[in-house]
């Protein structure tokens, strides 16, 4: 699992390096007034933890971190205001010996050398993230279309079921037709008229 190290050194997982994927997180400086932010990218499993690389950026408030893993390669970007840093790493080439350095123990010269190395390593074609960001709204639109289609299909099934219930279970039986000859009808009418004291003329 690929993730980042938080300020308290806890591991925050982002993307499974085997299946790949992309994730975006928004970070805030750990200390008030902190100008430089380091984003440490790690790869961890049950047995070991490897340092993938670091992104150093002058923070202007929040830091947006994008991590993309595809075909065994990790590309990462940290942005804050107008500043941004990139990292491009082949995960299959990371060795166990490449342990996580304790930057708190590095001298100023060693830290600056490490930052420069990461900047050179982060010489990344921006089109990778542009392509990913173009795919995101298309995927979102596709999910919305599927959701709307599912709702409409569900309504259609519900209405069809209601009609069938009404048609075969709740609809009242039609009244039977009254059959008989005209003469029989007149005789019945005359009988009722006699009872009521009314005469019928032919």
Coil, helix or strand for 83? strand
pLDDT value, residue 88: 87
Sheet of 2-5, strands arranged across: 11-15, 2-5, 36-44, 49-58
Pick from 90, 74, 84: which is nearest to 15 by CA? 74
Q: Phi first, then psi: what are they for 155, rounded to 5°?
A: -65, -40
pLDDT value, residue 150: 79
pLDDT value, residue 59: 80
pLDDT value, residue 97: 44
Average pLDDT over every residue of 94-107: 52
Domains annotated for the chain, with CATH where assigned, are: 2-124 (2.60.34.10)
pLDDT value, residue 20: 87
* The token pair that represents 113 in the structure block: 């050398």
Query: Where would I find the beta strands (DSSP E) of 2-136?
Result: 2-5, 11-15, 21-27, 36-44, 49-58, 63-70, 73-80, 83-90
Average pLDDT over every residue of 89-118: 62
Q: Which residues contact 97 (CB under 8 A, 6 or more apart)?
A: none
Q: Could you give the percent of the chain with pLDDT greater than 90?
A: 6
Rounded Cα distance between 58 and 63, Å, is 9
Q: Which of 66-70, 89-93, 164-168 has the lowest mean pLDDT?
A: 164-168
Q: Which of 30-39, 70-79, 110-119, 187-196 has the lowest mean pLDDT?
A: 187-196
Specify whether the CB–CB gap between 68 and 128 falls below 8 A: yes
Q: Which residue has the higher pLDDT, 51 or 128?
A: 51
Mean pLDDT of the chain: 72
Q: Which of 3-7, 50-54, 170-174 has the lowest mean pLDDT?
A: 170-174
pLDDT at residue 199 above 60? no
Q: Which residues contact 30 (CB under 8 A, 6 or more apart)?
A: 7
pLDDT value, residue 124: 46
Taking the CA atoms of residue 104, residue 105, residue 107 and residue 111 in that order, the dihedral angle to the nearest 10 degrees is -50
Sheet of 83-90, strands arranged across: 21-27, 63-70, 73-80, 83-90
pLDDT value, residue 164: 73
pLDDT value, residue 14: 92
User: b/e string for 125-147 if b means 16 or more Cβ within 10 A?
Assistant: eeebbeebeeeeeeeeeeeeeee
pLDDT at residue 125 above 70? no
pLDDT value, residue 190: 58
Tokens 């400086």 identify what position? 29
Average pLDDT over every residue of 44-56: 85
């Amino acid at each position: 699992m690929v993730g980042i190290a938080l300020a308290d050194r806890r591991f925050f997982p982002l993307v499974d390096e085997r299946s790949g994927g992309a994730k975006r997180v928004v970070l805030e400086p750990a200390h008030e007034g902190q100008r430089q932010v380091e984003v440490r990218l790690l790869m961890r499993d049950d047995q070991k933890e490897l340092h993938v690389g670091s992104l150093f950026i002058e923070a202007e408030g929040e830091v947006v971190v994008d991590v993309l893993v595809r075909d065994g390669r990790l590309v990462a970007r940290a942005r804050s205001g107008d500043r941004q840093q990139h990292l491009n790493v082949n995960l299959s080439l990371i060795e166990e010996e490449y342990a996580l350095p304790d930057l708190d123990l590095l001298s100023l010269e060693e830290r600056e050398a490490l930052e420069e190395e990461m900047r050179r390593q982060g010489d990344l074609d921006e089109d990778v993230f542009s392509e990913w960001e173009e795919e995101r709204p298309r995927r979102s639109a596709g999910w919305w279309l599927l959701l709307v289609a599912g709702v409409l299909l569900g309504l259609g099934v519900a209405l069809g079921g209601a009609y069938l219930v009404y048609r075969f279970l709740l609809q009242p039986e039609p009244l039977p037709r009254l059959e008989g000859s005209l003469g029989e009808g007149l005789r019945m009418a005359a009988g009722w008229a006699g009872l009521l004291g009314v005469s019928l003329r032919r």
